[in-house]
Amino acid sequence: MRDKNIEELLKQQVKEIMNEEQAAASEQRMHSTRSKRRPLKKKKHRFLKAVGLVAVVLLIAIGLVLGTKSGRRLLYRTASNFVFSNISTESKLPDNEDENLLPSIEGLRQEEYVTNYLIFGIEEIGGAKNTDSMMIASINTKDDTIKLTSLLRDSYVEIEGYKANKLNSAYSKGGAKLLVDTVEKNYKIKIDGYASVNFESFEKIVDLLGGVTIELGKEEAEYLNKTNYISKKKYRNVKPGVNKLNGNQLMGYCRVRKVKTLGGANNDYGRVVRQQRALKAIFDSYKTTNIFKLFDITKECLGYVNTNLTEKQIALAMESIVENKILTMDTFRIPVDGAFEAPKRYNGIGYPIVLDWEVNRVELYKFIFNDTEEEAKAALAELK
């Protein structure tokens, strides 16, 4: 009995010792787990702090870039470098030339708030190189608009070194330089640079954009389907109303002059209307292009454009448009109604458009420079 009691007592003591050891081991494990969790939490907090810090730095950097004019200029330079690297360039100003410091050219109208670029399309048919379309694109930072002035190709002009002829013949005689010189001296306006594209490249650009939307009148559609203005017969299938025109079809549309436009304009005036509508349609198509495709399309399109603009000029043009929030495009035509004659023959030239230069220069100044009638006449008088 006594032995049994001793045995029970020993069992009880052993059990108590084991319980104490298990409790100690359990406490040690819990302590170890807590020790491991703390560094993980610390690491997680450090990571989140780092991410937050990077985000703050990026926001500050973006704020500095977009919030300051000097910061935004970095973006313009980057964008202009992309354009300049992919565009075809001809003769340029020296890289260190400051276009804003160029002296005034005697006899030409120019203002600090207006930059003028000559844009033209080259028709290369049968070995000839005539400019079928010519426009002065003006960036005006006084009224925050882009102004597009179409110059009729049959305008009778003086061409230095050659007999007076139609405006569209100047390029074939002396290239872009002579064309720019001819526009400057006849229209009495400073041209700051030019950009050109030939007909084949024009078609490729339109096709890259997936075509453009143009509304055709019944007369226009019928005429396009039965003539060679649309050079590829398989595309002579346009219809009255809204059409999605490809490059070849749009090129044909831009060249039509013998039928009225939708709206009633005819002859060269109708052609100018079509060209302006085509440019607007291209612009609209570009704006609605998938953003993921836009970069590659832009890069390829630039390869078809030829210019003498410097990288700095491109950056300044971008800056003028963005900083002044220029979203409006106004259109105009020279000659204006009532200020020209269209004889069958003039000084040996067939069917030219003979301008009343005094009237047309004044109207051009009023449109591009926002002059009043009196201001335009006074500015023109000072150039003589």
Highest mean pLDDT among 22-36, 144-158, 259-273: 144-158
Is a pLDDT exceeding 60 seen at residue 9? no
Residue 361's pLDDT band (cuts 50, 70, 90)? very high
Helix (H, G, I), strand (E, B) or coil at 119: strand
Inside any domain, residue 349: yes
- Of 286, 282, 264, 285, the closest CA to residue 273 belongs to 264
The proportion of the chain whose per-residue pLDDT surpasses 70, expressed as a percent, equals 74
Inside any domain, residue 367: yes
- Of 322, 351, 348, 353, the closest CA to residue 335 belongs to 353
Q: Residue 298 is part of a domain; what is its CATH number?
A: 3.40.630.190
Inside any domain, residue 46: no
Token pair 């399109």 in the structure block, residue: 301
| Element (DSSP H or E) covering residue 93 | none
Is a pLDDT exceeding 50 seen at residue 99? no
CA distance from start to end of the chain:
142
Give the lowest-confidence range in 26-30, 110-114, 195-199. 26-30
Is a pLDDT exceeding 70 seen at residue 90? no
Residue 84's pLDDT band (cuts 50, 70, 90)? confident
Inside any domain, residue 364: yes
pLDDT tens per residue, range 168-193 = 999 999 999 999 999 999 999 999 99
Give the model's pLDDT for residue 372: 97
Residues with Cβ within 8 Å of 34's Cβ and at least 6 positions away in sequence, in order, are: none
pLDDT tens per residue, range 48-79 = 656 666 655 555 554 544 456 666 777 777 77
Give the model's pLDDT for residue 350: 96
Reduced 3-state DSSP string for 123-140:
ECCCCCCEEEEEEEEEEE
Question: Which residue range(s) make up the domain with 372?
Answer: 73-94+105-209+289-383
Query: What's the domain count of the chain?
Result: 1
- Of 119, 82, 309, 291, the closest CA to residue 196 belongs to 119
| Count of C-beta atoms within a 10 Å radius of residue 376 | 21
Indicate the average pLDDT of the chain: 81
Inside any domain, residue 26: no
Inside any domain, residue 241: no
Q: Are 176 and 308 in contact (CB under 8 A)?
A: yes
- Of 18, 48, 334, the closest CA to residue 189 belongs to 334
> What's phi and psi for 133, nearest 5 deg?
-140, 135
